[in-house]
Amino acid sequence: MQPFHGEYGPFNETYYGIFAVESPATISNHALQITPDSININFSLANKSGRVLLNKSFILWEDDGAGGVRVASFNSSFLISIARVANSRPGEGFAFLIAPDLVLPENSSGQYLGLTNSTTDSNPENGIVAIELDTFKQEFDPDDNHMGLNIHSVLSLKNVSLDDLGIEIAPVGGRNHTVWVHYDGSSKKMEVYMAEEGKAKPATPALAAELDLKDHVREKSYFGFAASTGSNSQLNCVLRWNLTVEMLSDDSVENGGSDNKRLIKICVGVGVALSSLLLIGVGVLFCYHLHKKKAASDPNLLGALKTLPGTPREFPFKDLQKATNNFHEKHKLGEGGFGVVYKGLLTKENIQIAVKKFSRDDIKGQDDFLSELTIINRLRHKHLVRLLEFGRVQNVSNSFFEHLACWICIKLLISSHNNSNRAVDKSFDEAQSSILRGLKVVSDNNPDFD
C-alpha cells in the first residue's frame, strides 16, 4: 500500500481543520504555537501546557496473520523555534509525540511537558511515546539542554546532552532547528537527528534506541506535538512539518484501520451466512420444482386419462388461457361441481367452447378429477355438450366442452337486460323450462345419470 505523506506549513487558520489544537495552543504568526505566544504584558506565559496533533489516527501495529505482529515504520521532520522570552532563562520543554487520543491532560504544565500529569505519569496504559527537547533541569535530568526518549513518563528511558553536539535548544537571540525522527518497524529502531536550520542532516543520530512500538502505544494512535512552561517560560513554535507513515494492510487514509478490519470481518461473516442461506434456498426451490414437475407429469394420471373412451386430446394450458382471456370474469358462464365454467374461443379452429376449471379447493384429488371426466366423457346426447379435450397445469385441472346452443339462452337473457321486465321474465321462464326438459331427456336416455 502507498504510505501516508503529509507536508504542512507555513501555517494559517485553515489548518484548524487539519489539526486538533488543544488550548491554550494556537495557530498564529505562520506557526503552530504549542504554548501561548503573546506580547500582552498582562498575559502570563508561565505554567502552561498545550498540544497540537494531526487530526487523523494511524494503525501502528497489527497481526500479520502468521502468529506475528507487523509494526509500521514512519519518518518525520520538523522545523522548530524554541525561543527565550526577553532573553530570560527558558523552561520547560517541547516534545514530538505519539498519543492514544487528542486530549491534553489536566495539570500537565512544568516538568510534565504536556505529556502526562502526576496521575498518569509512569502508567504503562497511557500509550505515550515522545522525543523531548528539555530546557529545564529537573533532579532526574542530565542538564537543561538535552534530548530524551520518553516511554509513558517524563523520566526519559534514554537521554543525551546536546552540549556535546554543539547544539543549544533555546540560545540567546533565538535560532531555528530541524529535527528528524526515523523509526524502522522491522528492526524496531528509533533514531533522532538534529541540526541548525539550513544544515544537512548529520550522518550520526543524536539519539538512537531499540524500541518496539507494539509494546508501548495503542494500535491506533496520533502524531503531533506537546510542550509546557513552568516558573520559567519560552515560546514553543513549529514552523514546518513533514510526516510519512507506512500504511498497514488494514489501514486507510480515510479511516482507522482497526475499524476497517472489524468491518471486513463482519462483512465476510454476513457474506458467508447469506451465501449458505442462498444455497439452501436454491436447493429447496430445486427440490420443490422437481416435485411439482413430477406431479404435473404423473404417468398414472396420464395413463388413466388416455384410457377414457374416445381418448380426449390433451390441450396446452396456454391455449386455454388465450381462449378465455386468462379466465376473465366476463367469460364466466356459471359454477358447478368442483369448479367454474368459462366461455372461450379457439381462434385457430374458430370453435366456441366451454371450459370447466377444477380448483384444488373444490376437488380433493386425482380420483375426483378422473371420476368427473369419466362421467362427462361417457355422456352422449344431442342436447348435451360433449367433452373434446382436457388440460392440466400444476395444481389446477381443466376440461373443455363444445359450446352449444344451450348457452345461447343465457346470452339472450343477458342481452335482454335493456328490454322490459315482462320480456325478461318471459325469457327467463322459457330458459328455465328448457333446462328442466333437457335434464329430463338426459335422465331418460342415461340410466347412470343422477
pLDDT in tens, 340-371: 888 888 777 777 788 777 665 555 555 566 66
Output the known binding site: 357
Task: Let me know if residue 436 belongs to a domain.
Answer: no
Bridge partners of residue 356, in order along the sequence:
341, 399
pLDDT in tens, 170-190: 999 899 999 999 999 999 999
Task: Let me know if residue 446 belongs to a domain.
Answer: no
Query: What residues contact 154, with CB distance under 8 A and at least 6 apart?
Result: 111, 112, 113, 115, 116, 121, 132, 138
Task: Let me know if residue 429 belongs to a domain.
Answer: no
Q: How far is CA 385 from the centre of its chain?
A: 65
Check whether residue 214 and residue 283 sit in a common domain.
no
Residue 321 reports pLDDT greater than 50: yes
User: What's the angle, vertex CA 292, arms to CA 289 and CA 297, rounded to 5?
Assistant: 125
Check whether residue 250 and residue 260 sit in a common domain.
no
Check whether residue 115 and residue 244 sit in a common domain.
yes
Task: Let me know if residue 437 belongs to a domain.
Answer: no
The predicted model scores a pTM of 0.58
pLDDT in tens, 108-146: 999 999 999 999 999 999 999 999 999 999 999 999 999
Output the known binding site for ATP: 357
Task: Let me know if residue 86 belongs to a domain.
Answer: yes
Residue 45 reports pLDDT greater than 70: yes
Domain range for 242 is 4-254
Residue 161 CB coordination number (10 Å):
15
In Å, the largest CA–CA distance within the chain is: 135
Count of residues in the chain: 450
Question: Whole-angstrom Cα distance, residue 243 to residue 52?
Answer: 14
> Are residues 363 and 411 in contact, defined by beta-carbon separation less than 8 angstroms?
no
Alpha-carbon distances, residue 283 vs 26, 269, 275 (angstroms): 66, 21, 12
Task: Let me know if residue 421 belongs to a domain.
Answer: no
